[in-house]
Amino acid sequence: MLLPIKPICERKDMRRDGTSVIYIQYCYSAEKRTLLNTQIAIPPEYWNKRRLCISNDLPEIFGNARHLNSELNRMLRLTEDIIYFAIETKIEDRAKFVKETFKPHFNFDNLQGKAAITIVSQVSLKKQNKDIYFQIDDYIKSKEKKVSPATICVYNCMKTQLLAYQVYRKKKITFESLDFEFYDGFINFLTFDYVQKRRKTVIKGLKVNSIGKTIKQLRIFIRDRIKRKIMTPIDLSDFNIPEEEADAIYLTFEEIKKIYETDLTDFKYLEQYRNFFVLACLTGLRFSDFSTLRFEYPYSKRWRHIFV
C-alpha cells in the first residue's frame, strides 16, 4: 500500500537565517493533513522539488547533502512504520497519533508491546485533560522549536498572569469560564491590580500595550485549542486587544554618523559593540535579533566589517 506521505521544503516558510525546515507531510484524508518536523533546515533553493530531495550542491555549511538525504529517507521509513502501526491497532485519530508519536530520532521498538499502549494512552490523555494550564504547557511545548526564546517568554508571562488572576478572583479558570465577564475582569486586574514581577518596589498594573500582548496571545492559544477540538468554539469578537500609540524614540542619521565615526583607538574592544549598535539603528532590528546574527547567514557578507 502506497502511503500519502512526502517531504516538502517551502520558500514561504523561510526563517530569519535564510533556511526552511524540511517537513514530512502526511495526508490522512483530503481534509486532514499534518506536518512532521524533521529538524533538517536548508536554503529552499537547494531543495529539488521534482526528486523530493536535497540537491548535491548544498554548501557544506548547511550539512552534507548525502548524509542529510539518508537521514530524510530514514525518517520517511520511520513515518511509514508509525502509520502502519496506527492502522493495525485501529487508532481512531491516526493523523493526531502520528503527529504526537513522530520524533526525528524516535525508536520504533518503543511502539511494541506495553510501550505502545502507554503512547496511545498519552495521546488520548492529552486530548482528554481539559485543565487550561496543562493545555497551555502543551501549547508552549509544541512551539519551542518554531518560535524564538523571547516568544516562549511571552507565552509563560501569559500563563503567570492567568494564575495570578485566578488567585485574585479566588475562582479556578477553566475553558468554560472564558466569556466576556472573564475578559472584562482580566483586563481590569491587569490594569490596576496585577503586581509586576522582579521589581524592588511594588508596582501594580501593566501598560496598555503589555496587556494587549497578553490578550493577543490568549486569543491565539484559544483558537489553537478550538482547532484541535480540545475546547468547544467560543465567540472571541469581544476579546478586543488593547493598544495605544507608543512614542517612537530614535536617533537621527547625523547622530548615528557621529557615533559610528567616534574614535575608539584607545578602546578597541568597544568597536564591535559600537558597530552592532549602529546596525540596530539602521535596520530597526531588536537586540534579540541582531545579537544572533552570524557572518555565515545569507546577505550578511555586506556587513563583513561588523563580524570581523
Convert the pLDDT of each residue in 146-180 to its tens digit: 888 889 999 999 999 999 999 999 999 999 999 99
51 lies in a domain?
yes
User: Is 191 in contact with 128 (CB distance < 8 Å)?
Assistant: no
User: Which range, of 69-73, 145-149, 188-192, averages the lowest pLDDT?
Assistant: 145-149
52 lies in a domain?
yes
Is residue 99 domain-shared with residue 152, that is, in the same domain?
Answer: no
The answer for residues whose C-beta is within 8 angstroms of residue 193's C-beta and 6 or more apart is 168, 204, 205
Is residue 31 domain-shared with residue 15, that is, in the same domain?
Answer: yes
User: Is 179 in contact with 119 (CB distance < 8 Å)?
Assistant: no
- Band of residue 225 on the pLDDT scale cut at 50, 70, 90: very high
262 lies in a domain?
yes
Averaged pLDDT, 60-85: 93
Is residue 85 domain-shared with residue 164, that is, in the same domain?
Answer: no
Domain encompassing residue 50: 5-127
The answer for residues whose C-beta is within 8 angstroms of residue 199's C-beta and 6 or more apart is none
Comparing CA positions, the residue from 10, 76, 84, 93 lying closest to residue 47 is 10
Instruction: Give the domain-ending residue among 227, 242, 270.
Output: 227
157 lies in a domain?
yes
Is residue 10 domain-shared with residue 42, that is, in the same domain?
Answer: yes
Spatial separation of the C-alpha atoms in residues 303 and 293, rounded to whole Å = 10
Averaged pLDDT, 202-223: 96
> For the chain, what is the mean pLDDT?
87
Averaged pLDDT, 208-237: 94
Is residue 13 domain-shared with residue 115, that is, in the same domain?
Answer: yes
Is residue 307 pLDDT above 50, yes or no? no
Instruction: Give the domain-ending residue among 227, 243, 274.
Output: 227
299 lies in a domain?
yes
Is residue 16 domain-shared with residue 122, that is, in the same domain?
Answer: yes
Q: What is the dihedral of CA 122, 125, 127, 132, to 10 degrees?
A: -120
User: Is 38 in contact with 47 (CB distance < 8 Å)?
Assistant: no
Spatial separation of the C-alpha atoms in residues 89 and 99, rounded to whole Å = 16
Averaged pLDDT, 17-36: 88
- At residue 114, the pLDDT reads 45
3-state SS assignment for residue 22: strand
Averaged pLDDT, 61-88: 92
Spatial separation of the C-alpha atoms in residues 90 and 48, rounded to whole Å = 35
Is residue 180 domain-shared with residue 88, that is, in the same domain?
Answer: no
Distances 204 to 188, 189, 297 between C-alpha atoms, Å = 12, 9, 43
Is residue 169 domain-shared with residue 151, that is, in the same domain?
Answer: yes
- At residue 303, the pLDDT reads 52
Is residue 122 domain-shared with residue 158, that is, in the same domain?
Answer: no
Percent of the chain with pLDDT over 70: 88
Averaged pLDDT, 209-238: 94
Averaged pLDDT, 216-225: 96
Instruction: Give the domain-ending residue among 227, 261, 290.
Output: 227
- Band of residue 127 on the pLDDT scale cut at 50, 70, 90: low
Is residue 49 domain-shared with residue 154, that is, in the same domain?
Answer: no
Is residue 78 domain-shared with residue 140, that is, in the same domain?
Answer: no
235 lies in a domain?
no
243 lies in a domain?
no
Residue 142, Cα to own-chain centre: how many angstroms?
7
Is residue 193 domain-shared with residue 79, that is, in the same domain?
Answer: no
195 lies in a domain?
yes
Number of structural domains the chain divides into: 3
User: Is 172 in contact with 229 (CB distance < 8 Å)?
Assistant: no
